[in-house]
Structure 1
Amino acid sequence: MSEMSVEDLVALWNKGFEGYYLNSSLDMSKFMARTVHEGLSLEHSLVLYENEEAIGFVMNGFRTIEGKKVAWNGGTGIIPDYRGKGFGKHLMLRNLQLYQEQDVDIALLEALVQNEAAINLYQKVGYEITEQLVCLQHTGELHVNLLESKFPEKYSLRQGHPVEVNAVPFNKPMSAWQTQWPSMKGGESILVTVAEEVVGYALFKRVYAENGSLTSFVLYQCEACPGREDETEILKTALREVFAPLTSSCTRLTMNIRHSNEGLNELLAGLGFTSFVEQVHMLRHI
């Protein structure tokens, strides 16, 4: 990809996602912002050609997590006229070869649950589904009483930078790429403590309009220490801080929350959050 002009890259991206389940089209500024924010490498992202025509691509990002080199598929697309003809498999196999060349240990990606063809392709080249992911949304005020804690004096809160969750023993370093702390450009963290012990955390962002007004909250991770009987109270404490002020009528979103985080999903459902995207998280050892 580094050998193409930005204009051609954006055009290829938009053609590759034409007719997709979600509108994934980007303009030049959004394409470049996504590339930077997600840590994507144009030098190590591939473009597939048929004769002189660019017909497909795969974008890649790389991180070191717990001593392992991890690669993320940040977008794969084939332009419509070439779909269903084996080009996607050819591209994915070459991409796995690139991962081997780059000494990658683990490869991650997400795929929409509706995109069965893509999921089947990824499984054929060795990826396995490790988690169901859900994106939720809520517009309007939140009912304050639903997040009231039974023991508010028990918990303390510490706000900080996203990197601080890296030191939490039960953090989820292999969560979906965009929910990991290195993707939290402009994000925040909340640590919930009991007697100085961290018992819960959240990663989130506040989004502001050009005039400085708060437009939305985006929650990326919210976890309680496994096995604690007060899990619900810990999660309530974190959510009260993440979504404050609760009386604000702005949009509140969650991005790629683990479906297996049952306590959190039950709380959010009770608050009136509804699903707008569901994905699978997939992993392959290289």
Structure 2
Amino acid sequence: MESTYTFSYLTAQEMPELHQVFLKAFADYYVPIQLTEEQFKTKLKRESIDPAFCVAAFEATKMVGFILTGLGEFNGKPTAYNAGTGVLPEHRGHQLTRKMYAYLLPKLRQSGVEQCLLEVIQENEPAIKSYKAIGLTFTRALDCFRATKDELLLHGDEPDDIAILPVSKPDWNTYQHFWDVQPTWQNTPAAIKNTPDEKVILEARDTSHELVGYVVFLPKNGAVLQLAVMPDRRGRGIGKALLKEVMQQTIAPALMFINIDTAAVDFKAFLKRRHFNRFLGQYEMLMPLV
């Protein structure tokens, strides 16, 4: 007999149950994702996930699928970010992703959200097919890079006219002028501000105290959220010096860059020269709601 599913929005009290369903849904994923309770709470905060906009699918009283929805701005527009879609293995094949979106979209439109955003692993053809059927289209391709500390190639002379110092108040207005591409949702200034994890921001300044580069990273897990150097000061070892400082201050055994726009050709070449390896590709997908 065909299963009957119902759908509803969640409350903060249901997030622990959602965490358990998340673990089961992603245990056999292309890249298995197993987050501790603390890591899951961190994800909720960093990605601005609002339980009242998270849809769950139920068979009777059992939660069998979900969409984690983050709310915020992206490229200047009110945006709903899909921070994770999961369906328990035994309930796949019932088009639950499409049905959950059909339940969610009217509420998003009524709330003034102008677009839906997500990332999907490039090899995940069933998910891509579902998202395209809903109306999402590719906006850009993304690469993820990783290197263990002993793999990193950071030898060579340090620039002697550059000082690298920690800062407590990031100057995002200046930083964004160093960007070649826009960061993805998890790496935006808003996400960095929201993350409860310990984060370190270092700035590189020259002898006249001019800001010429910066880096933002999480020393506990080795995630480098942003790294950029002033365009006309590149090729002088500033990026390498920043990365060397990141390595020295990071507790984790490896450094990672998640979701780097493939259009950032020079930056990807910089990472490869430092011996970072691409381990995953994703697509960013977007759907206008107005």
TM range (shorter): 0.7 to 0.9
List per-residue Cα deviations over 1:173-223 (Å, max 9, x = no partner). Answer: 95211111222233233445676665544332222xxxxxxxx53212233
RMSD over aligned Cα, in angstroms? 3.0
Q: Which stretch shows the higher mean deviation, 182-191 or 112-121?
A: 182-191
List per-residue Cα deviations over 1:77-99 (Å, max 9, x = no partner). Answer: 11112212222111123222232
The CA distance in 1 between the partners of 2:275 and 2:32, in whole Å, is 25
Tell me which amino acid in the other structure corresponds to 1:143.
L
2:261 — aligned with what?
A: 258
Alpha-carbon deviation of 1:254? 1.5
* Structure 1 residues 166 and 281: CA distance shift in structure 2, 3 A: farther
* Structure 1 residues 196 and 98: CA distance shift in structure 2, 3 A: farther
* Structure 1 residues 190 and 124: CA distance shift in structure 2, 3 A: farther
2:129 — aligned with what?
A: 120
1:168 — aligned with what?
A: 175
* Structure 1 residues 169 and 46: CA distance shift in structure 2, 3 A: same
The CA distance in 1 between the partners of 2:170 and 2:189, in whole Å, is 6
Alpha-carbon deviation of 1:118? 0.9
1:242 — aligned with what?
A: 243
1:187 — aligned with what?
A: 199
The CA distance in 2 between the partners of 1:73 and 1:172, in whole Å, is 25
1:108 — aligned with what?
A: 117
1:75 — aligned with what?
A: 84
- 3-state DSSP class of the match of 1:99? helix
Gaps in structure 2 of 5+ consecutive residues: 1-9
Amino-acid identity (%): 21
Q: Does 1:93 align with 2:106?
A: no
Tell me which amino acid in the other structure corresponds to 2:239.
A
Gaps in structure 1 of 5+ consecutive residues: 208-215
List per-residue Cα deviations over 1:258-286 (Å, max 9, x = no partner). Answer: 22211121121122111222211222222
The CA distance in 2 between the partners of 1:101 and 1:25, in whole Å, is 34
The CA distance in 1 between the partners of 2:102 and 2:53, in whole Å, is 14
The number of equivalent residue pairs is 271
* Structure 1 residues 174 and 62: CA distance shift in structure 2, 3 A: farther
- 3-state DSSP class of the match of 1:145? coil
The CA distance in 1 between the partners of 2:164 and 2:64, in whole Å, is 50
- 3-state DSSP class of the match of 2:155? helix
Alpha-carbon deviation of 1:39? 2.0
Q: Does 1:217 align with 2:225?
A: no
Alpha-carbon deviation of 1:166? 4.2
Task: Tell me if structure 2 keeps the 8 A contact 1:111–1:279.
Answer: yes
Task: Tell me if structure 2 keeps the 8 A contact 1:160–1:189.
Answer: yes
1:177 — aligned with what?
A: 185
1:204 — aligned with what?
A: 217
Among 279, 283, 287, the residue aligned to 1:284: 287
The CA distance in 1 between the partners of 2:32 and 2:262, in whole Å, is 23
Task: Tell me if structure 1 keeps the 8 A contact 2:82–2:118.
Answer: yes
Tell me which amino acid in the other structure corresponds to 1:223.
A
The CA distance in 1 between the partners of 2:26 and 2:153, in whole Å, is 38
The CA distance in 2 between the partners of 1:39 and 1:115, in whole Å, is 25
* Structure 1 residues 30 and 247: CA distance shift in structure 2, 3 A: closer
The CA distance in 2 between the partners of 1:14 and 1:246, in whole Å, is 30
2:274 — aligned with what?
A: 271
* Structure 1 residues 140 and 196: CA distance shift in structure 2, 3 A: closer
Give TM-score, length-normalised by structure 1: 0.80
List per-residue Cα deviations over 1:119-150 (Å, max 9, x = no partner). Answer: 2221222222222222211123433336x57x
Task: Tell me if structure 2 keeps the 8 A contact 1:204–1:242.
Answer: no
Give TM-score, length-normalised by structure 2: 0.79
* Structure 1 residues 162 and 95: CA distance shift in structure 2, 3 A: farther
List per-residue Cα deviations over 1:205-252 (Å, max 9, x = no partner). Answer: 222xxxxxxxx53212233456x4x5443xx41342233276799422
